[in-house]
Amino acid sequence: MDKGERILYPCYFNATLSREEGRRVPRSLGAKGPSAGDIERALKRLDISSQIEEHHHPAHWFRHEGRVVATWTGKKEALIKKVARAMELKR
């Protein structure tokens, strides 16, 4: 991973998971069963370049959900919240 890139996993936005299981947004901002494609579409809406990879979250190695690498130089938590709000628009 290069400097200025952030990795986002679908579990960060999954409202059905607990914080302990990997969710990083409030349930009210989460989605049920988000995919890497949903994250990528939200990033496109925000005009942030991204790329989907066929990797998985280490704690969820059996799910094969993929991940998204976004070009972002700010704090990761700020990016996660922006993406969650952008995903909320599509729901």
Q: Tell me whether strands 5-8 and 67-71 are parallel, antiparallel or unpaired.
A: antiparallel
pLDDT at 89: 65
- Helix residue spans in the chain (DSSP H): 36-45, 76-90
pLDDT at 50: 96
pLDDT at 56: 86
pLDDT at 68: 97
Identity of the amino acid at 67: R
Q: Whole-angstrom Cα distance, residue 65 to residue 87? A: 17
Mind listing the pLDDT tens digit of every residue in the chain (91 residues)?
668 899 999 999 999 999 999 999 999 999 999 999 999 999 999 999 999 999 988 888 888 889 999 999 999 999 999 999 998 765 5
Give every strand in the sheet of 67-71, ordered side by side: 5-8, 67-71, 50-53
Structural domains present in the chain: 5-90 (3.30.56.30)
pTM for this model (two decimals): 0.90
Residue 83: CB atoms within 10 A of its CB come to 30
